[in-house]
Structure 1
Amino acid sequence: MGLAWQQGPLAAAAVGHFLTAQPLPERLLFAEPLRRRMRVRFGDLWIADSDDVVLLHEPGRYPVAYFPRDAVEPGVLAVEEHRTEHHDLGETTWFTVTAGGRSVRRAAWCHGALPEYAAVMDGRIAFAWRAMDAFYEEDDRIVGHAADPYHRIDIRSTSRHLVVRDGEQVVADTRRPMVLYESGFAPRWYVPRADIDESALIPVDGQTFCPYKGLASYYTIAERSRAAWSYLDAWPEVGAVRNLVSFEPGTIDVDLDGHRLRLEPGQTVLPHGIDRGLDPDELLLDATARRAYPS
């Protein structure tokens, strides 16, 4: 979730609301020091490196990292004639990024006519996520989008009774599911494979990527396309659901303690944008391309 995207508190479709006497503005932006060293890789070179990054949260977007101009290698940025108008921050100037024999247009930007209240953004450069080779915090690669310090996942064990049915066929029946609470999303229930009729799960091609959990593989159940998924090799932070299976309410019948679960609105994740690249390909590169580059 984070602060400003999905159903976070500063998002347009926030699931909660602020308890204030006067309504807040429809759009609120929040800028804060990241307080982490962040680096950008492009053309097999480091083109930006700073521990003075500002993270901008704005409604409907993932957080975006802004680097001081002097943290960008000389000669990397070439100003373009192309200009756009940001809803809150005024005119946006775009740059072509060139390094290591490669060049990409509209791969970076800055806001050049900032209102006084946004002075913290003055002179700072942001890089389009999908245009760059990679982003790092220290020597660890960050994938998908700039890490959001307000995004949280909690996993709890429970003895609640979860039953999954395809018509009259029981696909899963467990009293030991794991429930995954992820900020901005409805709870997701994960079932141990020992409590599933695995003959009902038909693996399908195509994975999706979550920056916080890893690669998800999908299953069709009878005529119900992509009705279930599993993080076969979930990242260590969410290892409790590794290789367990979750089922999509609305696509297949999922009952919890006798109550039918419904697909909640506002759960769709948009994979592409200037601020993110939620493509499995970012994780499926060869080992050489994924290695951490030391200083």
Structure 2
Amino acid sequence: MGLAWQQGPLASRSVGHFLVADPLPERLLFAEPLRRRMRVRFDGAWVADSEDVVLLHEPDRYPVAFFPSADVRRGMLVPESRTTRHRELGTTVWFAVHGGDKQTQRAAWQYSTLPAYADVLRDRVAFAWRSMDGFYEEDERIVGHAADMYHRIDIRRTSRHLVVRDGDRVVAETRHPVALYESGFAPRWYVARDDIDSAALALVDGETFCPYKGLASYYDIGAHHRAAWSYLAAWPEVAAVSGWVSFEPNIVDVYLDGRRLVLESGQTVVPHGIDRGLDPDELRLRSGAAGR
């Protein structure tokens, strides 16, 4: 979860509410300085490079990075005749991005008739995530979407008793799982391989990745499809669960201290907007050098 997506405070499905006397507007947009140098690469060249990026948080969307027009390389944006309209921010002007041997349509946009309250976005350009070759903070490539500073993960060791069953078969049992607390999600419980009946897990094709945890592999358990997952090489920030396995409580039976867990509502990750680009191939390219 971030500030405005999943179940965050500005999302349409927020699990909390503001303690105010009068109702808030149906939609709240929030813009803030990123305070990090961000760069965009396209067709072997830097199309944008700025330390003055503004993040726009829009309900039910991942944050979008807006670059000052002055920090976008001249000649790489080609105006398109088609425009659209944003309900709060006015006319949206679209651009193709043109490199040496490559041109991609509808790859960048700018708001040309901004209301006064959104002046912070004036003369700024955003780039469609999937249309670019890569986004970087300094020299490190970032994947998925611009980093949401309100997304947090905490991992805690515990001595609680966790049991996973497929019918009468005990798939996993442990008294030292770890709890992964991630903004906007109910706790996820991870189990060490030594506490799992490895014969019960059948690795299946199809991976996903999380910009905050890494590439996830999935397992069938008996007749239950994709009932468990593991980050086999989790990001260093969440190394405590690297190689450990978590189980989906709406697919197999997961008991915590004798209480059967259920999947809470709003826990499914769904695509949000043109800025999203969650593709496992992007993850495999993450370690590529910025200048290549």
SS in 1 for 2:160: coil
Equivalent residue pairs, number:
292
For 1:217, the equivalent position in structure 2 comes to 217
Q: Residues 247 and 10 from structure 1, CA distance in 2 versus in 1: closer, same or farther, beyond 3 angstroms?
A: same
Q: Name the CA distance, whole Å, in 1 between partners of 2:283 and 2:21.
A: 46
Paired letter, 1:249? P
TM-score (norm. length: structure 2): 0.98
AA at the equivalent of 1:188: R
1:179 aligned to 2:172?
A: no
Letter in 2 for 1:291: A
Aligned to 1:233, what secondary structure does the other structure show?
A: coil
CA distance in 2, matches of 1:292, 1:191: 36
| Residue 243, structure 1, aligned to residue 237, structure 2 | no
Cα pair 1:217 1:232 within 8 Å, conserved: yes
**What is residue 96 of structure 2 aligned with on the other side?**
96
Using the alignment, how far apart are the partners of 1:154 and 1:285 within structure 2? 26
Give how far 1:271 is off. Answer: 4.2
- Cα separation, 1, equivalents of 2:272 and 2:131: 12
Residue 256 (structure 2) aligns with: 256
Instruction: Point out 4+ residue stretches in structure 1 off by more than 2 angstroms.
Output: 270-273, 284-287
In the alignment, what sits opposite 2:291?
293
Match of 1:120 in 2: 120
**Contact 2:141-2:286 within 8 A present in 1 as well:** no
Q: In structure 2, what is the Cα distance between the partners aligned to 1:232 and 1:268?
A: 21
Asked if structure 2 preserves the Cα contact closer than 8 Å seen for 1:178 and 1:189, the reply is yes
- Provide the C-alpha distance between the structure 2 equivalents of 1:227 and 1:120, rounded to a whole number of angstroms: 45
Q: Which runs of 5+ in 1 are unaligned?
A: none
Amino acid at match of 2:111: H
Are the aligned partners of 1:166 and 1:252 in contact in 2 as well (CA < 8 Å)?
yes
Change (3 A) 1:115 1:286: closer
Q: Is the 8 A contact 2:32 2:54 kept in 1?
A: yes
Against the structure 1 CA distance between its residues 286 and 178, is the aligned structure 2 distance closer, same or farther, given a 3 Å change threshold?
closer
Residues in 1 aligned to 2:100 and 2:57: alpha-carbon distance in whole angstroms: 31
Q: CA deviation at 1:272?
A: 6.4
The residue aligned with 1:45 is 45
**Cα offset for 1:231?**
0.4
The question of whether the paired residues in 2 share the 8 Å contact of 1:271 and 1:279 is answered with no
Gaps of 5+ in 2: none
Q: Give 2:8's aligned residue.
A: 8
After TM superposition, list the pairs within 5 Å mapping 1:184-203 onto structure 2.
184-203=184-203
> What's the CA shift for 1:178?
0.4
Tell me the SS of whatever aligns to 1:277.
coil
Is the 1:219–1:228 contact (alpha carbons within 8 Å) kept by the matching residues of 2?
yes
What is the rounded CA distance, in whole Å, between the counterparts of 1:12 and 1:131 in structure 2?
27
- Distance in 2, matches of 1:265 and 1:93, equals 37
Residues in 2 aligned to 1:104 and 1:113: alpha-carbon distance in whole angstroms? 24
Secondary structure of the residue aligned to 2:239 is helix
Match of 2:56 in 1: 56
* Structure 1 CA distance for aligned equivalents of residues 264 and 123 of structure 2: 41
Aligned mates of 2:33, 2:163 — CA distance in 1: 46
Amino acid across the alignment from 1:100: G
Alignment partners' CA distance in 1, 2:144 and 2:234: 15
TM-score, structure 1 normalization: 0.97
Deviations 1:62-81 (A, max 9, x none): 00000000111010111111
Report sequence identity in percent.
70
Aligned residue identity for 2:105:
R
Alpha carbons 1:42, 1:100 under 8 Å: kept? no
